């Protein structure tokens, strides 16, 4: 089984409020993206990683990979306008073409455990499409565009999707091709697989598998690192 990981890392940090894209912000003196890449360095079933980056940060990313001796990055491609475009560009590489299992993981989820990644790989091999997810802890309201409550949503049926998301290679290739042909934009890779009618299995995610989206997340990330040390 050949497993390849796609990591879209094309964000430029506009929503993060920093001149430096959030994937390059340091936690414990190491860039977030390096924390993320190190996870897959240590997993034997992962043979290669494909990074999709913004053109302005291509050279910088390559220098970081060399500096921190990341060995599994097989290719770095230029991303697109949207995350979906960036993943699509990475899917067209030789490494993915030769893969059996493809994982897609957020560059800014640096705290996923090796155990969860391995479970995603094993489950993807078995069922074809899988995502980790956690249940929401808060009460969830549906509201109007004027912020008036419509109703309270039954959260027992709701999950918050995480990454890595894992797929048979032919399923994810077909999903991105059909989505592009139909001009369908999804919020994650699984939504494209759902779009073509394939069933996606959900496994338990991890509360610490957070996505770095704001300054508070950075502080939480520092706590996670400290706790693991």
DSSP labels, 118-146: HHHHHHHHHHSEEEEEE---S-EEEE-TT
Name, in order, each residue with C-beta under 8 angstroms of 126's C-beta and a sequence gap of 6 or more.
none
pTM for this entry: 0.95
The pLDDT profile of the chain, 229 residues, written as one tens digit per residue, is 799 999 999 876 555 566 789 999 999 999 999 999 999 999 999 999 999 999 999 999 999 999 999 999 999 999 988 999 999 999 999 999 999 999 999 999 999 999 999 999 999 999 999 999 999 999 999 999 999 999 999 999 999 999 999 999 999 999 999 999 999 999 999 999 999 999 999 999 999 999 999 999 999 999 999 998 8
Decide if 32 contacts 112 (C-beta within 8 A): no
CA–CA distance from 228 to each of 37, 196, 225 (Å)? Answer: 17, 40, 5
Sketch out the chain's domains with CATH numbers.
3-228 (3.90.550.10)
Distance CA(164)–CA(34), nearest Å, equals: 16
CA–CA distance from 56 to each of 52, 66, 79 (Å)? Answer: 12, 18, 10
Residue 50 main-chain phi, psi, to 5 deg: -115, 120
Name, in order, each residue with C-beta under 8 angstroms of 151's C-beta and a sequence gap of 6 or more.
141, 142
């Amino acid at each position: 089984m050949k497993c390849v990981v796609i990591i879209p890392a094309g964000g430029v940090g506009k929503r993060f409020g920093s001149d430096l894209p959030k994937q390059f912000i340091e936690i414990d003196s190491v860039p977030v993206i390096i924390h993320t890449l190190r996870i897959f360095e240590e997993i034997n079933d992962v043979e290669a990683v494909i990074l999709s980056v913004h053109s302005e940060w291509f050279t910088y990313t390559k220098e970081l990979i060399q500096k921190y001796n990341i060995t599994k990055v097989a290719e770095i491609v230029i991303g697109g306008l949207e995350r979906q475009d960036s993943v699509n560009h990475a899917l067209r590489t030789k490494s993915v073409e030769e893969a059996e299992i493809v994982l897609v993981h957020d560059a800014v989820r640096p705290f996923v455990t090796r155990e969860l990644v391995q479970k995603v790989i094993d489950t993807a091999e078995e069922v074809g499409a899988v995502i980790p997810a956690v249940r929401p802890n808060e009460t969830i309201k549906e509201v109007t565009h004027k912020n008036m409550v419509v109703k309270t949503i039954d959260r027992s049926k709701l999950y918050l999707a995480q990454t890595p998301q894992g797929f048979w290679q032919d399923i994810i290739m077909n999903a991105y091709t059909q989505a592009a042909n139909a001009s369908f934009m999804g919020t994650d890779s699984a939504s494209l697989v759902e779009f073509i009618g394939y069933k996606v299995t959900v496994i338990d995610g991890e509360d610490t598998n957070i996505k770095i989206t704001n300054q508070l997340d950075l502080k939480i990330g520092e706590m996670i690192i400290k706790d693991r040390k």
